Homo-oligomer: A and B are copies of this chain.
Amino acid sequence: MFNDILNDDFSSTKGPKAIPVTLSTRIRLARNLREFPFPGRAETSQRRAVLTKCMEAMHDIKDLDSSYAVEVDDLSELERQILVEKHLISRELSDVDEASGIILSKDRNCCIMINEEDHLRIQVLQPGLNFSKVWKRVDALDSNIESEVSYAYDGDLGFLTACPTNLGTGMRASVMMHLPGLVMSKNMDKVVNAVNQLGFAVRGLFGEGSDASGSIFQISNQQTLGESEGAIIERLDKTLQNLVRQEEFARKKLLQDDGRRLIDKVSRAIGSLKSCHLIQSAEAMDLLSLIRLAADFKMLPDSYRSTADRMFIEIQPGHVQLAAGKPVEPDDRDYLRASLLRQKFAKAPFVKTDG
């Protein structure tokens, strides 16, 4: 049954259609049970008690699907990798040895991790930019769980968390953004600095320490203390909307100042995807980034934006092995990845220009 989750392509088929610049919105809440030590300081038996208690508390929550509840130990290495690549669980949880678990929602846009760094990490993901919808859902989940368990909460500090960087709201709100215009115009460093100054972090597609292949960046709040959830989200939302405008401006300028070079890049990306027989993830992501951009520029049909978003996930090493039905060495993965991409872009039209 768990195979359904692995094989399902839910990153793009559910929810609104893929839109330019903003790929997805995510909010996660860190919560801990009052009567147990944080996972990092707990005995295995205590961790197991937390796991059982949480699973029971969530069993009847309507938004969740208890048949998609699973212990991390029961997942193979490949299955864990797949979930990481789908942004459903963290790399940290995938490395945990014992007494950790996950539960998914029916539409698979929510995933709750148990005994990661905190007892509970409640997260909701949604394509596009839509904080209010995502907040409503994560807040409802949080309330439902709280009606069954007792959270560690301090009147002054707010929610208590294993790491002080999460103290207070325990909330991390983030958006995945596609910023090729800012990257190509070499403005990204400046933008990262400005965004950091506002108290927000900028990371790559796979979070902390990952690189920005495909010009995809994850932007999130760093502060969790001393500000309400609503205030944090409002500030972040404003910053992101400004960022969208900057990206749009950068794209327009690139097209005006050196349109031919841009068209050359986009068109060659299509050519490479149609013709490659060996390709590594990083190059594939950079090509897919150009496909997304081409769709935004109306150089390719809109549907290729969603195709690119789906491929960003499906070309990852775990997904390539899942599709092959077996573990595959890196060289052979590059070959299978190329076959997949050739097939997906076989019918993509080349960019046409007049002059």
Instruction: Say yes or no: B277 contacts A267, CB within 8 Å.
Output: yes
- A62: interface (CB < 8 Å): no
| Residue among A270, A272, A275 with the highest chain B CB neighbour number at 10 A | A275
Residue numbers in B under 8 Å from A276 (CB-CB): 264, 267-268, 271
Residue numbers in B under 8 Å from A277 (CB-CB): 260, 263-264, 267-268, 351, 353
A247 CA / B121 CA spacing, docked (Å):
61
Instruction: Say yes or no: B275 contacts A270, CB within 8 Å.
Output: yes
Least CB distance from A346 to B in Å reads: 9
| Residue among A261, A271, A351 with the highest chain B CB neighbour number at 10 A | A271
A80 CA / B233 CA spacing, docked (Å):
68
Could you tell me which residues of chain A, from 233 to 292, have a CB within 8 Å of some CB in chain B? 260-261, 263-264, 267-268, 270-272, 274-279
Identical copies in the complex: 2
- A153: interface (CB < 8 Å): no
- A114: interface (CB < 8 Å): no
| Residue among A260, A270, A351 with the highest chain B CB neighbour number at 10 A | A260
Instruction: Say yes or no: A264 contacts B338, CB within 8 Å.
Output: yes
Instruction: Say yes or no: A272 contacts B278, CB within 8 Å.
Output: no
Instruction: Say yes or no: A274 contacts B350, CB within 8 Å.
Output: yes
Residue numbers in B under 8 Å from A270 (CB-CB): 275
Residue numbers in B under 8 Å from A267 (CB-CB): 275-277
As a 0/1 sequence over residues 36 to 74 of chain A, the CB contacts with chain B under 8 angstroms (1 = contact) are 000000000000000000000000000000000000000
Could you tell me which residues of chain A, from 318 to 339, have a CB within 8 Å of some CB in chain B? 331, 335, 338
Chain B residue at minimum C-beta to C-beta distance from A270: B275
| Residue among A268, A272, A350, A353 with the highest chain B CB neighbour number at 10 A | A268
Chain B residue at minimum C-beta to C-beta distance from A263: B277
Residue numbers in B under 8 Å from A279 (CB-CB): 264
Could you tell me which residues of chain A, from 169 to 219, have a CB within 8 Å of some CB in chain B? none
Q: A260-B278, A267-B277, A277-B353 are in contact. List 9 more A-B contacts (CB 8 A).
A: A264-B276, A264-B277, A264-B338, A267-B275, A268-B277, A270-B275, A272-B272, A272-B275, A274-B274
| 10 A-B pairs with the lowest CB-CB distances in the bound complex, closest first | A271-B275, A271-B271, A264-B277, A264-B278, A267-B275, A263-B277, A268-B275, A267-B277, A271-B274, A271-B272
